[in-house]
Structure 1
Amino acid sequence: MADQEKTLEKAPEIQSGTAAYSDHSGDDAVHHPNLDMTSWKYKKRRLGPISIPYYASPEMQLFLVSIVCFLCPGMFNALSGLGGAGTTNTKTADDANTALYATFAVVGFFAGTIANKLGLRISLSFGGLGYCIYCVSFLVDQFSDSYGFNIFAGFFLGCCAGILWCAQGTIMMSYPMEHQKGRFISVFWIIFNLGGVLGSLIPLGANHNAKTNATVSVGTYVGFVVLTGLGAAMAFTLTDAKNVVRKDGSRIIVMKNPTWKSEILGLGQTFGTDPYIILMFPMFLVSNWFTAYQFNDINAAFFDTRTRSLNGLLYWFFQMVGALVFGFALDYPGIKRTTKAKINWIVLMVMTMAVWGGGYAFQKRYTRATQNEKLNPGAVFMDWTDHGYIGPMFLYLIYGFYDAAWQTSVYWYMGSLTNNSRKLANFAGFYKGIQSAGAAITWVIDRTETPYMTTLAICWALLAGSLVIAAPVIGFKIKDTVSLEEDVKFSDETVEEVRGNSVTDLEHGQKF
């Protein structure tokens, strides 16, 4: 540690995106020549034997954005995971979600531009507000027909969620050092999905005696409204990206004074400098394609109310397990990043064939007609006490594990392509926008009562096909490390500026 300190103190600049840094033994703050490092934001604190990251560290900022997502999209996931947003009439939820994801697809595609201009705190808080309004709409629906409000809430949430997820993705992929990206994604996904786990306890506790197929209680919706509102307020606890300092002294590549013009041009430049990202679009498209099928066509269609709640809890818990396994495996130091990218692709392909093959075997047990109470008054919905529940339960939790594996891998692939927060904001916007376009289509598919087996076949084919299309990017574009010059190479003029100026000037200058 002493040798490392001396090295850092002697270095006039650190060529990973930053200026000099020193960390004298015994000090309670990190040091950086362009910031007031005596500020409370950089004070190191301890809670007994536990060292708490300083406030403006990437780790603390990741924790705070994870809490926001724990309370907002985490609660939304818990509600959606019940099928039909907790109601027996899934058509209202289908229509609201179609409005949500159709809007999300449009806004999400440009969300990088919006988030870069507004800043991460405002983007996250505005995003959280949409989740609260969405939950309010289904609370109101319990007292009177509020179909119009439900559709508006879905539309409004689409506007908000696109910006929230772009800001979240920017923090998660650009704040960590290269060798930490997998664990940052993993930690976020674990905390975020803990929201789904704990959120599922609300309907599970409120409906533990509901063996029939019924709407969840009013108290369930009240709980979701309160928690999502708290999440929106929590967003203001984050600090600006320009204040964040990593442990090695490096800072985030950000634009000092972004304008709408510069960000719109930057969006177009991304396609010029990184056209290969288009090959990742099918993976983006299908990354939420399967949720409508899993939530409505399995959980809501096959299980009674209280078992749906239990299934939701298990689904989100195994999302946490999947994120833990894949996130830390992708950061394993003993294997080169290029090799890990290829191994991960193989693992995803094998899992796709195995998991969805199991889903095919299960889907042969029932159809829309057998589970429709109007067409089949004797329809039976499985309870957790029924014989044979363990098999379907295991399949459902594996679906959750697979979802986390897919999402974690896609984020890690994007984060491996660049460290530039501006570019990653655009990548994250593309990801969430295209993902939401796919999700919007799936809610329409469900709304039109497409046969369950057809829906499953579409999911399976798209997942496997998207991996094949993305293979060239994963195999040839991901490198073991990304140099600073590559990260800011939007034009030859910019490269010359990197060569001619100090990194500090670049970070706080006019180009980025």
Structure 2
Amino acid sequence: MEQYDHPYTGSDKRPTLADSRMGGDVQIPTGWRYKRTKIGPVSLPYYASPEAQLLLVSFVCFLCPGMFNALSVFGGAGLNDDYASTIAFCATYAALAVVAFFAGAAINALGIRLTICFGSIGYSIFISSIFCYSKTQNLGYVKFASVLLGCCAGVLWAAQGAIIMSYPQEHLKGRFLAWFWTIFNLGGVVGSLVELGLNSKNNSAGKGVSDGTYVAFLLLTFSGACLSWTFLDSKHIVRRDGSRVILMRQPTWKSELLGLWQTLATDPYIIFLFPMFFASNFFYTYHYNDFNFDRFDPRTRALNSTLYWLAQMIGALIFGFALDLSNIRRTTRAKAAWIAMFALTFAIWGGGYVFQRSFTRETKEPGYDWNSAGYTGPMFLYMAYGFYDAAWQVTVYWFMGAITNNGRKLANFAGFYKGIQSAGAAIIWRADGLGAPYMSIFVACWALLAGSLLIALPVMIWKIKDTVPVEEDLKFTDELMEDVMPSHFYDYSVEQK
């Protein structure tokens, strides 16, 4: 076979069907990145394998967004009131919405490693601003740190989405999603256990956490930022069958910005998933501030948070592995996942409606302690909300990953997802800050979730296939290169076996 520098896969061989599909016979390269290590009978994944990079991105998200989530789900970001946290989250998600929409271009131009390194630094700065506010009421620092966090989180989450959707083989995408979401939410569990341990005796009317909570979270998020420097760029990643991630070598900013438009032009049906993107973080405001923060004392909120993230881990494992069942066609799994999510939407949020009728924003009676009569029902409801969140996120990611295996296109999909998701979050955080009735926020969440599933149904029926041909994935990159680079940079052929 003729040797040459291929502009899409980063390989020096012409691409074959085996280069991007399970079962190829391409050899694993040599070098320290591909060295296999055994501990007894167990063979560990080599450093440049999708599995190893999945573990790295999972633990960075465990330490950075995981700690942020633990503080968020506690309600009020651990402060005595939710004034500063509402402003902070609104600013964060507004910035994230803008940055994430273009994050796919940044990832493809700069590489996974640099974008994750930048994306992880904002979390410790944000937590330091909240800690500072608890002592000095310096709202200006909170606003700055919130906007910075939105910029950082936009590229971090888009890079994470590109990794978990494009690195695994088609038959492993659900499992990758399950393992990522489980490890990531373990960060929420650990963070909530830290809160629980430091606030276990705090059942007073005050709602703030201890100083030690903020210090612990600062150390953990800073550790995550340091860990991010151990990533490898996509060009080094080789799957177990020798295949590589489909991407374009040495892209330009022009090609990447054009790629955003071309993604919409070549895959306009992705617009039918936009309402699901918009809904995917919309309900967090209700979960964190209007449910957990309003109705429970500090130590019970910490317990609720722990159970919420544990339920997320269970939901991710169940849905992730179910979506990869090899004895069921992928088209059938897609439709079954849609039916399951539609049923859960009405079962869980229907139960939530019954509880929401019992209180309003103006309710003055004390909230629940874990020793209070009647606490068990709301506790299980909050766990159900956590399970539902994980099921929703894993399903949406799996839907996107089932549409294509092209790493460049999936980076754009991930950017669209986080951008639109964050726009929804910014809007609802602002509505909550303006004092919208709890029932109005609840009904908006429920209606949006159910309506977005109906709008997405055509994609499940007509666009998700049992497998995506390699030629179809490469065609997108080929057409884009024709618009921005001379023909001799993209001249290649796909060999048939």
Q: Cα deviation per residue 1:443-500 (whole Å; 9 max; x = unaligned)? A: 0111011111111111000000000001111111000000111112236697999997
Structure 2 partner of 1:399: 385
Of 161, 166, 173, the residue aligned with 2:158 is 166
d(CA) in 2 for partners of 1:427, 1:309: 34
Of 375, 382, 394, the residue aligned with 1:389 is 375
Q: Is the CA contact (8 Å cut-off) linking 1:83 and 1:296 kept in structure 2?
A: yes
Amino acid at match of 1:17: D
Q: 1:259 Cα shift?
A: 1.1
Structure 1 partner of 2:56: 64
Equivalent pairs counted in the alignment come to 477
SS of equivalent to 2:135: coil
- Matching of residue 128 in structure 1 with residue 114 in structure 2: no
d(CA) in 2 for partners of 1:328, 1:140: 42
Q: Is the CA contact (8 Å cut-off) linking 2:159 and 2:411 kept in structure 1?
A: yes
Q: 1:44 Cα shift?
A: 1.0
Of 334, 340, 355, the residue aligned with 1:341 is 334
Amino acid at match of 2:435: E
Overall identity of the aligned pairs, in %: 56
Q: Cα deviation per residue 1:7-57 (whole Å; 9 max; x = unaligned)? A: xxxx9974043599998xxxxxx934xxxx331111111122322101110
d(CA) in 2 for partners of 1:308, 1:218: 17
Q: Is the CA contact (8 Å cut-off) linking 2:259 and 2:480 kept in structure 1?
A: no
The aligned runs of 1:35-184 (5 Å cut-off) are 37-184=29-176
The aligned runs of 1:367-446 (5 Å cut-off) are 367-370=360-363, 376=364, 379-446=365-432
TM-score, scaled relative to structure 1 = 0.90
Choose 144-153 or 399-408, whichever is displaced more. 144-153
Q: 1:266 Cα shift?
A: 0.9
Change (3 A) 1:498 1:462: farther
Structure 1 partner of 2:7: none
Q: Cα deviation per residue 1:373-432 (whole Å; 9 max; x = unaligned)? A: xxx4xx312111112111000000000000000000000000000000100000000000
Q: 1:502 Cα shift?
A: 5.0
Structure 2 partner of 1:277: 270
Q: Cα deviation per residue 1:347-373 (whole Å; 9 max; x = unaligned)? A: 100000111000000111111111xxx
Q: Which runs of 5+ in 1 are unaligned?
A: 1-10, 24-29, 371-375, 505-512
Change (3 A) 1:20 1:459: closer
Structure 2 partner of 1:223: 216
d(CA) in 2 for partners of 1:19, 1:106: 34
SS of equivalent to 2:196: helix
Structure 1 partner of 2:6: none
SS of equivalent to 2:121: helix
d(CA) in 1 for partners of 2:243, 2:173: 15
Structure 2 partner of 1:470: 456
SS of equivalent to 1:56: coil
Structure 2 partner of 1:3: none
Change (3 A) 1:459 1:16: farther
Cα-Cα RMSD: 2.1
Q: Which runs of 5+ in 2 are unaligned?
A: 1-12
d(CA) in 2 for partners of 1:455, 1:280: 22
Structure 1 partner of 2:236: 243
d(CA) in 1 for partners of 2:246, 2:458: 27
Choose 475-484 or 491-500, whichever is displaced more. 491-500
Of 345, 350, 355, the residue aligned with 1:357 is 350
Q: Is the CA contact (8 Å cut-off) linking 1:16 and 1:484 kept in structure 2?
A: no
Q: 1:218 Cα shift?
A: 0.7
d(CA) in 2 for partners of 1:500, 1:125: 34
- Matching of residue 233 in structure 1 with residue 226 in structure 2: yes
d(CA) in 1 for partners of 2:86, 2:20: 48
Q: Cα deviation per residue 1:216-236 (whole Å; 9 max; x = unaligned)? A: 011100111111111111111
Q: Is the CA contact (8 Å cut-off) linking 2:79 and 2:134 kept in structure 1?
A: no
d(CA) in 2 for partners of 1:485, 1:14: 10
SS of equivalent to 1:369: coil
d(CA) in 1 for partners of 2:141, 2:15: 55
Of 189, 195, 204, the residue aligned with 1:197 is 189
d(CA) in 2 for partners of 1:12, 1:502: 7
Q: Is the CA contact (8 Å cut-off) linking 1:97 and 1:440 kept in structure 2?
A: yes
SS of equivalent to 2:120: helix
Structure 2 partner of 1:290: 283
Amino acid at match of 2:270: I
Q: Is the CA contact (8 Å cut-off) linking 2:292 and 2:301 kept in structure 1?
A: yes
Amino acid at match of 2:320: G
Structure 1 partner of 2:293: 300
Q: Is the CA contact (8 Å cut-off) linking 1:18 and 1:503 kept in structure 2?
A: no
- Matching of residue 501 in structure 1 with residue 492 in structure 2: yes
Amino acid at match of 2:357: K
Q: Cα deviation per residue 1:258-304 (whole Å; 9 max; x = unaligned)? A: 11111011111101110111110000000000000010001000000
Structure 2 partner of 1:7: none
d(CA) in 1 for partners of 2:190, 2:41: 28
Change (3 A) 1:282 1:16: farther
Q: Cα deviation per residue 1:183-226 (whole Å; 9 max; x = unaligned)? A: 00000000000000001111111100000133101110011111
Structure 1 partner of 2:3: none
Change (3 A) 1:134 1:493: closer
Structure 2 partner of 1:17: 19
Q: Is the CA contact (8 Å cut-off) linking 2:247 and 2:408 kept in structure 1?
A: yes
d(CA) in 1 for partners of 2:372, 2:51: 45
d(CA) in 2 for partners of 1:214, 1:447: 18
Amino acid at match of 1:256: R
Change (3 A) 1:18 1:348: closer
Moved over 6 A (4+): 19-23, 493-500
Q: Is the CA contact (8 Å cut-off) linking 2:24 and 2:243 kept in structure 1?
A: no
Q: Cα deviation per residue 1:137-171 (whole Å; 9 max; x = unaligned)? A: 01111221111111111111110100000000000
